[in-house]
RNA sequence: GCGUUCGUAGCUCAGCUGGAUAGAGCGACGGACUUCGAAUCCGUAGGUCGCAGGUUCGACUCCUGUCGGACGCACCA
């Protein structure tokens, strides 16, 4: 299909050149790549069309007149004749593809192991940093959005052929960590997560919340936390031991959540290892005059000329801050594994931070600074207000998955399908993840999400389970065929038989799958892929109702349609995988 | 105050690099299960695309201004 489009652009460019020659006009014909191709609003108008407005202006003729003239020229083109027909439609030149050959090509492509693997980013190295939790509490709904964005984007980039590194930058040091440690010392009595029957991250998170109680009891609690941070930095053995123990608990719990939701990483970076990294770079920048030393001794950079403010990079006591560390890690990562692109999946409240960071790296002379990208995403708001730990209104990630899974299980039982699905709990969990991930992915990243529990828990309409359901229905047809039902086995698949408008609508949709992958990869937008999957599900939903597959009396048509269903199923499997929506044979 | 960003149907959202009557889902109303699972399908109602200018043959899409919301403007992360 992609090849077909490129071919038609060439044909139209050729026709325009021919038309210019016929008219004896001195203007230059457009390059094939510059020819605008679009999809007509209604399928009856054709498979794609070319607006004639720009050429009308160029050639000083009415658009409709140009369309008619070009149609006549294209009609004489032997390559065009093989691929379809071009018809003038007002100011547009519309193309109707030859359905038989195109259907055969799509079914063959969908049957290959590389279906959906486009190669548009072949040879490119992309590093994706995402999730990046703190080690003092469990993951919440906001992390779920971050995780699914990062994971899905990574899979999409991988499908486009990129070589990937998925990095999780763990914030395991700082005052907030010390607070949970202090509270644990006061209230923990040496207990372990196992003893309290809690996941490690929930266990530690409990003590982080208990710090509020500690503050009421002890007015010096904040000071003690500061003192503990200092002791940690100086390597106090007792503090370090407790820190390590609690960090291990949290990491173990968080990794469970990752495993459960299908998120994985190539490697983990710990801030405790990297927080000193950028110092040397900053001092070098000071020597080369990129930065300057303030009167009080702090090292800063003036960014007013690019519309940013002066930013401190080293405190007056010489210690590094957040951005110093990010400078260091970006450089270290590039030295370690020269990437063509680095994508930070981080909330949009840090947009300014990344603008500053990228500008600084540019000034330090790193050409690759222009390859850095902040994939910013909006907050997940609750109807009651902002999600912040301190306000106690967070939605815990594990609890949420549990809750949705319980509802899914109830739904399966309500439909009396416990027997059909096999492992009820496992299927319910997959439906829950499908629902949650699709809900979080469908909205474009920059927009804030108003978390509506009812909507996110619903399984009907424009949801993940709707897509899963269509995948399951396709599977069901194939399963019945394999069980010996229907006429397909008696016939021979002939793609040319799939020429009806209904068949064609579905085949065109399948053909667009690689384009959807590329669009999502190029724009760093998993939502584009989520949208595609919904469209595919809707098209299949309409098609299978009106087009009997196995029961079709014409055995060859049955066999052909079965091939189409197989292609649909393969597309669901591949596409849903990229969107972190579990594929289900039955639900 | 300055900066960034969002503002599309009652609600939640799509709308590709500007292009042919602005699309889904939920909710409302009306239909379709002796026929491959109705978590489905079909139909009806509902929008001056926040507002005002501008660029263009053509603007939901680009530019300027304006109103409203969110976020940011630390030697915190």
Checking each nucleotide's C1' against the CA of A534, the nearest proves to be B24
Q: Cβ distance A202 to A304 under 8 Å?
A: no
Per-residue pLDDT of chain A (587 residues; tens, 9 = 90+): 667 888 999 999 999 999 999 888 888 888 888 898 988 888 888 998 999 999 998 888 899 999 999 999 999 999 999 999 999 998 999 999 999 999 999 999 999 999 999 999 999 999 999 999 999 999 999 999 999 999 999 999 999 999 999 999 999 999 999 999 999 999 999 999 999 999 999 999 999 999 999 999 999 999 999 999 999 989 999 999 999 999 999 999 999 999 999 999 999 999 999 888 899 999 999 999 999 999 999 999 999 888 889 999 999 988 889 999 999 999 999 999 999 999 999 999 999 999 999 999 999 999 999 999 999 999 887 765 444 444 455 789 999 999 999 999 999 999 999 999 999 999 999 999 999 999 999 999 999 988 777 777 789 999 999 999 999 999 999 999 999 999 999 999 999 999 999 999 999 999 999 999 999 999 999 999 999 999 999 999 999 999 999 999 999 999 999 999 999 999 999 999 999 999 999 99
User: What is the C-alpha separation between A152 and A363, in angstroms, rounded?
Assistant: 32
Pairing mode, if any, of strands A341-347 and A372-377? parallel
Show me where the domains of chain A are located.
Answer: 2-97
- Nucleotides on chain B within 7 angstroms of protein Cβ: 3-6, 11-17, 19-21, 23-27, 35-42, 57-58, 69-77
Give dist(CA A581, CA A39) in Å, integer.
Answer: 28
Start-end of H helices in A138-278:
141-159, 175-187, 193-196, 200-217, 221-233, 237-261, 271-274
Closest residue, by C-alpha, to the C1' of B58: A53
- Distance from the first to the final alpha carbon of chain A: 33
pLDDT for the residue A383: 65
Q: Report the complex ipTM.
A: 0.95
The gap between A202 CA and B70 C1' (Å) is 30
Q: How far is CA A33 from CA A5, A428, A454, in A?
A: 10, 48, 47
Tokens of A153: 């984007």
List CB contacts of A340: < 8 A, sequence separation 6 or more.
A124, A125, A126, A371
> In the complex, which nucleotide's C1' lies nearest to the CA atom of residue A91?
B20
- What is the rounded distance in angstroms from the CA atom of residue A283 to the CA atom of residue A364? 11
CA–C1' span, A448 to B71, in Å?
10
Comparing CA positions, the residue from A389, A546, A540, A413 lying closest to residue A468 is A540
Q: What does the block give as tokens for A241?
A: 């031991």
In DSSP terms, which residues pair with A191 in a beta bridge? none
d(CA A581, CA A465): 9
Closest nucleotide relative to residue A488's CA, C1' based: B36
Our measurement of CA A356 to C1' B66, in angstroms, reads 30
Its CATH architecture, for the domain A2-97, is 2-Layer Sandwich (3.30)
Are A153 and A343 within 8 A, CB to CB? yes
The answer to whether some atom of strand B lies closer than 7 Å to the beta carbon of A271 is yes
- A:121-140 Cβ neighbours of strand B under 7 Å: 134
- Please tell me whether any atom of strand B lies within 7 Å of the Cβ of A40: yes
Sheet of strand A48-51, all strands in order from the earlier edge strand to the far edge: A48-51, A92-97, A84-89
Whether A30 sits with its Cβ under 7 A from any strand B atom: the answer reads no
- Spatial distance from the CA of A144 to the C1' of B50 (Å): 32
* Strand B close to A419 by CB, under 7 A: no
């Amino acid at each position: 299909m992609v090849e077909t489009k490129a071919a038609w652009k060439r044909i139209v460019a050729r026709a325009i050149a021919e038309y210019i020659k016929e008219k004896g006009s001195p203007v230059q014909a457009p390059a094939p790549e510059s020819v605008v191709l679009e999809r007509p609003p209604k399928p009856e108008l054709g498979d794609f069309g070319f607006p004639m407005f720009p050429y009308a202006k160029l050639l000083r003729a009415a658009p409709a007149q140009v369309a008619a003239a070009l149609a006549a020229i294209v009609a004489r083109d032997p390559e065009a004749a093989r691929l379809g027909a071009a018809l003038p439609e007002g100011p547009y030149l519309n193309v109707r593809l030859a359905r038989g050959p195109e259907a055969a090509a799509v079914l063959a492509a969908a049957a290959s192991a590389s279906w959906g693997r486009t190669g548009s980013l072949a040879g490119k190295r992309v590093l994706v940093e995402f999730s990046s939790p703190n080690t003092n509490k469990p993951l919440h709904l906001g992390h779920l959005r971050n995780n699914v964005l990062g994971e899905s984007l990574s899979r999409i980039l991988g499908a486009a052929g990129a070589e990937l590194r998925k990095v999780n930058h763990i914030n395991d040091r700082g005052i907030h960590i010390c607070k949970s440690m202090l509270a644990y010392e006061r209230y923990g009595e040496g207990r372990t997560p196992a003893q309290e029957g809690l996941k490690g991250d929930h266990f530690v998170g409990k003590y982080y919340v208990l710090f509020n109680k500690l503050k009421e009891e002890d007015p010096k609690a904040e000071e003690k936390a500061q003192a503990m941070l200092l002791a940690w930095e100086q390597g106090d053995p007792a503090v370090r031991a407790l820190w390590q123990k609690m960090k291990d608990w949290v990491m173990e719990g968080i990794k469970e959540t990752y495993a459960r939701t299908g998120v994985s990483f190539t490697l983990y970076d710990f801030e405790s290892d990297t927080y000193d990294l950028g110092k040397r770079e900053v001092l070098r920048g000071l020597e080369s005059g990129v930065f300057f030393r303030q009167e009080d001794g702090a090292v800063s950079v003036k960014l007013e000329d690019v519309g940013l403010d002066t930013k401190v990079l080293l405190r007056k006591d010489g210690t590094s801050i957040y951005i110093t560390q990010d400078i260091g890690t970006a450089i270290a990562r590039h030295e370690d594994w020269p990437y063509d692109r680095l994508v930070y999946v981080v909330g949009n409240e840090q947009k300014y931070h990344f603008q500053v960071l990228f500008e600084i790296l540019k000034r330090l002379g790193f050409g690759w600074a222009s390859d850095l990208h902040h994939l910013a995403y909006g907050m997940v708001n609750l109807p009651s207000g902002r999600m912040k730990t301190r306000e106690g209104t967070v939605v815990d990630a594990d609890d949420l998955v549990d809750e949705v899974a319980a509802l899914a299980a109830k739904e399966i039982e309500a439909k009396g399908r416990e027997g059909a699905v096999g492992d009820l709990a496992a299927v319910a969990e997959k439906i829950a993840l499908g629902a949650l991930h699709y809900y979080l992915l469908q909205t474009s990243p920059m927009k804030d999400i108003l978390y509506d529990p009812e909507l996110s828990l619903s399984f009907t309409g424009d949801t993940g389970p709707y897509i899963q359901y269509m995948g399951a229905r396709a599977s069901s047809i194939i399963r019945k065929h394999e069980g010996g039902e229907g006429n397909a086995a008696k016939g021979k698949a002939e793609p040319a038989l799939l020429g009806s408008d209904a068949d064609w609508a579905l085949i065109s949709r399948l053909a667009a799958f690689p384009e959807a992958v590329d669009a999502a990869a190029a724009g760093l937008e998993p939502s584009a892929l989520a949208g595609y999957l919904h469209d595919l599900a809707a098209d299949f939903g309409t098609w299978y109702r009106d087009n009997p597959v196995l029961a079709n009396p014409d055995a060859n048509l049955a066999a052909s349609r079965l091939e189409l269903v197989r292609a649909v199923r393969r597309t669901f499997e591949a596409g849903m995988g990229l969107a972190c929506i579990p594929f289900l044979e039955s639900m």
